[in-house]
Amino acid sequence: MYVSTQLLRFSLPPHMCQLTVVPSAAASTSSQVSKPGMSTIVPIISSSMASVVVGASSAMASVVVAGVLSSSDPHAVATSARTMNSRSQGPAGPYDDWPLARGFNRFYGFLGGAADHYYPELVRDNHHVEPPARPDEGYHLTDDLIDRSSRFVSDQIAHRPWDPVFLYLPLGAAHAPHHAPPEYMERVWGRFDAGWDRIRRQRYERQIEAGIIPPGTELPPSNPDVRPWASLTHEERLVAARLQEAYAAFIEHTDAALGRLFDHLKRVGRWDNTIIFVCSDNGAAMDGRDLGAFGRVHFFNDIEPGAADIIDRIDEIGGPTADSQYARGWAQASNTPLKCYKRYTHGGGIRVPLIVKWGDRLAAPGTMLNQFHHMIDIAPTIYEVSGVTPPAEYLGRPQLPIHGKSMAYTFDDPTASTRKGPQYFEMTGHRGIWADGWKAVTRHAPGDAYEQNEWELYHLDEDFSEARDLASSETEKLAELDRLFWREAESNDVLPLDDRYMELFWSYSMDERSPLYRRRVDYYPPLSHIERPATPPLEYCSYTIEAVTTGPMEGVIVAYGHPTSGFVLYMKDGRLHYEYNAAGPVMAHSIELPDSDPLTVRFDFDLLGERAGRGRLSAGHHQGQWFDFDHVLVWVSLAGMDLGRDAYGPVSTRYDPPFPFQGDLQRVTFHLGSEIKVSRRRDDY
């Protein structure tokens, strides 16, 4: 069984009902067999997870389910609430949009996306914490989140058994990077050697046979950007297959971990009165391009390594030194039988399975349900089954109306017609609209005029895979849906449309005292780990790092990044060292340290173009020579920064992490250059 999930669980005492929701960064796994109460819903990336816990359209905001339920009765807990990407992920807040401020009583997990499962940047409640173990000690984030979830449930039963519990568990699996324990990698070796074309066809045939997709569903032609498997070289096939193996092993490990959580619910007597929702948060992603990627930062830097760049490290894939992503051909196979990928509004981007389990409360467990629904419909379903009415006002603030429609009517009558009204979709200019079984959808290229985009039209009730475009023959229906899209977009605050993509990854709306607003940032170690959104914006400017030290000159001064990319400034063996990992190629320079105490050391970086620069080390009066950077990353790393140690994924292999600074690191200062203009800052996008 393949289940890559987000989990919400709402548990009530035996005389009441209970509930759980599991959403995940997992891609759609359309080849699965039927599960209790399985249906399809339509999400779009992490905004879909926000919709789950709000019940409103993703372009809007309101109080989350946890806040509503907590103000009634349930005890709300969350592990890995990455739907709440906050304005600041820095250790000093502000915390007003972190999980505890949004109604959760407890939180453990990560706040950002694309979490490293061996070296995650973790938060407990409102505090950054280090992982409880290291990869060589068997640590994996999925297991940690499952263990914490079980503990939250046990704590509730031990101390407040009369209260319901709402558990929200959005796992990092199976979003890239794909990390799986070695024993799970071994289980899938060779499983994908047949290639994505044949496996896509086999999945389609199994779906028809199992009744997962309606009889007569067509398998559309391959997406035009997918290379035929037969055109790949032997080396390319080895790399592409291994990257997909890491994804499959990642999901199978996640499935086993969820099984442990479900076994725990059975052991503590909460299985039969717990309602569980399991779904993915979007379709499979195309970010791996032709062959896939060894490092997740490649995509953000527009780097597309070839098989020759990966083959020598192929056995690292799935482990802690790789941050892999599968190829778009495997994304297409994962989306079988649907077209396109995550980020698009065609079925391959937005249609995923929903699995519902609720003891004996479902009229026909194990049945495939065909009603059309959206992520925003989960919250009102939770409210209905728990008997809670969302407040019109929360903490003195007026609330938006619930936009979703409860799916609870399907629990008693699985053959009932859908009660869902019109549903719009929009993602970076790609648009779609569903109403009464019909769907209009269009693709958009950034910068193009929206009126130039051609709509496609599908009768989804008769064409599950969007294979037969009726735009030319059903012109009146298409015109009707076109008008409906713009009405829905206006009423849901979607307008004006925004077709930027990469720029939006920089759209941190930070506090004005954040490092993103300052040309000088002073750090006085020891201090907590700093996640990337709270680090100084070094990507587009010249800068200087200055450190004042006393005592033994040994250890890390600044470590920014992760094993697959980043930089580190450290002292070792009487020398000041600087290393820069440009998503693969590593450059290293050092100078001798003078016999001075205290000692001020510096690293100067001059930006000489968008992807070019030079650097220089200084220690006291000793000044090194300028050295050139062969390649400057515009996105240094998805991981954050530490001062005085390298506590997470080690940036360098030349020391034993965390390699703490042995002397007194009195101050570390970042001086940012004048290139940082208001229009280039992350917060102004």
CATH architecture of 515-684: Sandwich (2.60)
> What's the pLDDT at 449?
92
Residue ranges of the domains in the chain? 6-412, 423-499, 515-684
> What's the pLDDT at 393?
86
Average pLDDT over residues 606-617: 91
89: exposed, middle or buried (Cβ count in 10 Å: 0-12, 13-18, 19+) = buried
Q: What is the mean pLDDT of the chain?
A: 87
Average pLDDT over residues 658-662: 97
Residue 43 pLDDT grade (very low, low, confident, very high; cuts 50, 70, 90): very low
Residue 463 pLDDT grade (very low, low, confident, very high; cuts 50, 70, 90): very high
Q: Which of 292, 294, 330, 290 is nearest to 313 (CA)?
A: 294
pLDDT tens profile 136-153: 999 999 999 999 999 999
- Residue 62 pLDDT > 90: no
Worst-scoring range by mean pLDDT, 528-532, 617-621, 653-657?
528-532
Q: Which CATH class is domain 423-499?
A: alpha beta
> What's the pLDDT at 103?
84
- What angle, 0 to 180 degrees and rounded to 10, lies between the N-to-C axes of helices 45-54 and 378-386? 20
Residue 60 pLDDT grade (very low, low, confident, very high; cuts 50, 70, 90): very low
Residue whose tokens read 């779904």? 279
Contact 350, 425 (CB under 8 A): yes
Output 612-620 pairs: Cβ under 8 A, ≥24 positions apart. 613/542, 615/578, 615/580, 615/589, 617/576, 617/578, 617/589, 617/590, 617/591, 618/591, 619/576, 619/591, 619/592, 619/593, 619/594, 620/593, 620/594, 620/596
- Return d(Cα 396, Cα 104) in angstroms, integer: 18
Cα–Cα distances in angstroms (integers) from residue 269 to residues 7, 161, 265, in the given order: 19, 11, 6
Parallel, antiparallel or unpaired: strands 373-374 and 39-42: parallel
Homologous superfamily (CATH) of 6-412 is Alkaline Phosphatase, subunit A (3.40.720.10)
Structure tokens at 13: 């005492």
Coil vs helix vs strand at 448: coil
Worst-scoring range by mean pLDDT, 336-340, 560-564, 633-637?
633-637
- Return d(Cα 419, Cα 373) in angstroms, integer: 9
> What's the pLDDT at 429?
94
pLDDT tens profile 403-421: 999 999 999 999 999 999 9
- Residue 102 pLDDT > 60: yes
Residue 49 pLDDT grade (very low, low, confident, very high; cuts 50, 70, 90): low
Residue 65 pLDDT grade (very low, low, confident, very high; cuts 50, 70, 90): confident
Name the DSSP class of 474: -
- Residue 78 pLDDT > 80: no
- Residue 257 pLDDT > 50: yes
Structure tokens at 657: 């992490």
Residue whose tokens read 């070695």? 182
Dihedral of the alpha carbons of 496, 498, 499, 504, in degrees to the nearest 10 = 180
- Residue 45 pLDDT > 80: no
* Amino acid (one-letter) located at 659: F
- Residue 17 pLDDT > 60: no
Residue 164 pLDDT grade (very low, low, confident, very high; cuts 50, 70, 90): confident
Residue whose tokens read 């990336």? 45
pTM (2 d.p.): 0.90
- Return d(Cα 92, Cα 98) in angstroms, integer: 12
Average pLDDT over residues 656-683: 80
- Residue 59 pLDDT > 80: no
38: exposed, middle or buried (Cβ count in 10 Å: 0-12, 13-18, 19+) = buried
Contact 148, 123 (CB under 8 A): no
Structure tokens at 206: 């199994």
Residue 47 pLDDT grade (very low, low, confident, very high; cuts 50, 70, 90): low
Residue 629 pLDDT grade (very low, low, confident, very high; cuts 50, 70, 90): very high
Residue whose tokens read 């209790």? 36
> What's the pLDDT at 35?
36
